[in-house]
Copies of this chain bind each other. A is one copy, B any other.
Amino acid sequence: MEQQTQQQIEDGGNNQAAGTNNRWAPTPPQLRILKGLYYDKGFKYPTPEQIQEICLHLKQYGQIEDKNVFFWFQNLKARERQKLKEFRNVPVGGSLDLNFGSTSNDRSTDRSIDLNFGSRVGYGAEGSIMEQRGEYHQEIETLPLFPMHGEDILGNMKTTSEGGGGYGGGSHIFLELSLNSYRDADMA
């Protein structure tokens, strides 16, 4: 596609030191562990806490940061999804019927999003938002992601008790303010 002239625009005040632009790449052990988590264990939705845990664990195999783990999972998920999507588009040509059913991707692309900004009216003391997908809930919280064998150095990690605290958020309000003035304008 048209590769527009990438150039560094002004940065409002937060510019990284030029030159230290090393992009992380997983070391073989790191990659192996990550893939093991993703494919073997079906572990695809790490919480921030689990990201830290994983990252900490992987640190022994090379330099790594939280955001690397985060992006790694994000990208892997996105790309698998993307592959499936374009696979559906592939003209198979034959009478072969690839029935995928309806992918769980049926997002109604409703344009009138609920803009609930501002307007705090009433407040439900919501609670844990720990629900992962409608699928496997891995027992997080205190279950070690890495069963100690071989490459485990953390005997136990977070025996921490998040219970009770967390953040003071968790309140969806949905006042249906609906700034529906959004015409198509986009995506048309």
Interface residues of A in 8-32 (CB under 8 A from B): 8-14, 16, 20-24, 28, 31-32
In the complex, 17 of the A-B residue pairs with CB atoms within 8 angstroms, ordered by the A residue number, are A1-B16, A1-B20, A6-B6, A6-B9, A7-B7, A10-B159, A12-B31, A12-B32, A23-B186, A48-B86, A48-B119, A48-B179, A52-B89, A181-B181, A181-B184, A182-B184, A184-B185
B67 touches A182 (CB 8 A): yes
A16 touches B3 (CB 8 A): yes
Residue A118 is within 8 A (CB to CB) of chain B in the complex: yes
B48 touches A118 (CB 8 A): yes
B117 touches A46 (CB 8 A): yes
Interface residues of A in 63-91 (CB under 8 A from B): 65-67, 70, 82, 85-87, 89
Residue A183 is within 8 A (CB to CB) of chain B in the complex: yes
A9 touches B28 (CB 8 A): yes
A48 touches B115 (CB 8 A): yes
Q: Mark A165-182, 1 if CB is under 8 A from B, else 0.
A: 000100000000101011
B12 touches A48 (CB 8 A): no
Contacts of A131 in B (CB 8 A): 120
Assuming the A-B contacts A46-B117, A67-B113, A181-B183, are A8 and B8 also in contact, with contact meaning beta carbons closer than 8 angstroms in the complex? no
Assuming the A-B contacts A48-B118, A134-B123, are A12 and B24 also in contact, with contact meaning beta carbons closer than 8 angstroms in the complex? no
Q: Which residue of B lies closest to A4 (CB)?
A: B9
Assuming the A-B contacts A10-B28, A12-B36, A48-B118, are A66 and B182 also in contact, with contact meaning beta carbons closer than 8 angstroms in the complex? yes
